[in-house]
Amino acid sequence: MAELEGIYTIWLRETKRYIRYRSRILTSVVTPLLWLIIFGTGLGTAIQFGGIGGYQQFIFPGIVGQTVLFTAVFSGVSVIIDRQYGFLKEILVAPISRPSVVFGKSLGISTASLIQGVILLLLSFIVGIQMTVPCFLVSTGFIVLISIGLAGLGLMIASFTDSMEGFNLIMSFIVLSMFLLSGALFPITGLPSWFSLQFI
């Protein structure tokens, strides 16, 4: 029970920290929409896209994934902030195991990612995507699983980094590489076989 209470407390702190900054919620939703509308429209008219639906419909799942990726990974910087202000020491001396601390923070970060992802899924009608209930539930489940894993990655790297500048440099390289090579903006079928790991 002590472990569960500790996980809940850490999750609640991370969630309250996110909800209190309403400007962060607004910008985290407006920015992907700008990507979707401006980048999708501009690039969609510049390239010949032969998929079903428009280019905006193609990149919509990628934009949702981008939002989850950026939020979950870069939220790991909270470890560095807690270390600088001494709050991390208070957590580490608490009667709770360190895996529970990491899991609690991961849950809090994934909650923020889930809120942003769900808002974008509900706005799918902007690009003409009909979001059915089964599709919404499955997408939400994937958002939770992916955000927890990415939050763990961000927390792990942040635990070995001393400054926010170093963390941002490392994560920018990792995040941009993951996003650009994920097939979110372009079909991976157009990449060379050795580059996209298509051996068949």
pLDDT at 190: 63
Please say whether the beta carbons of 14 and 112 come within 8 A: yes
pLDDT at 200: 44
| Both tokens assigned to 68 | 């989850």
Please say whether the beta carbons of 113 and 151 come within 8 A: yes
- Give the whole-angstrom CA distance, residue 115 versus residue 121: 10
> Using CB atoms within 10 A of its CB, is residue 83 exposed (0-12), middle (13-18) or buried (19+)?
middle
Contacts with 92 (C-beta within 8 Å, 6 or more apart), sequence order? 98, 101
- Three-state secondary-structure class, residue 191: coil
Q: Does the structure show a pLDDT above 60 at 52? A: no
pLDDT at 47: 62
Q: Does the structure show a pLDDT above 80 at 68? A: yes
The C-alpha torsion from 58 through 62 and 64 to 69, rounded to 10°, is 180
pLDDT at 199: 42
For the entire predicted model, the pTM comes to 0.77
- Three-state secondary-structure class, residue 95: coil
Please say whether the beta carbons of 113 and 143 come within 8 A: yes
Q: Does the structure show a pLDDT above 60 at 57? A: yes
Nearest CA among 81, 60, 64 for reference residue 28: 64
Q: Where are the domains of the chain?
A: 2-40+55-183
pLDDT at 138: 92
Nearest CA among 105, 74, 33 for reference residue 175: 74
Average pLDDT rounded to a whole number, residues 43-65 = 70
Contacts with 174 (C-beta within 8 Å, 6 or more apart), sequence order? 73, 153, 157
89-111 pLDDT, tens digit each = 777 777 788 888 888 888 888 88
Crossing angle of helices 164-180/55-74, nearest 10°?
Answer: 150
113-168 pLDDT, tens digit each = 888 888 888 888 887 788 889 989 999 999 999 888 888 888 888 888 877 778 87
pLDDT at 173: 83
* CA 135, chain centre distance (Å): 19
Average pLDDT, the chain: 79
pLDDT at 56: 76
Nearest CA among 72, 69, 63 for reference residue 32: 63
Q: Does the structure show a pLDDT above 70 at 80? A: yes
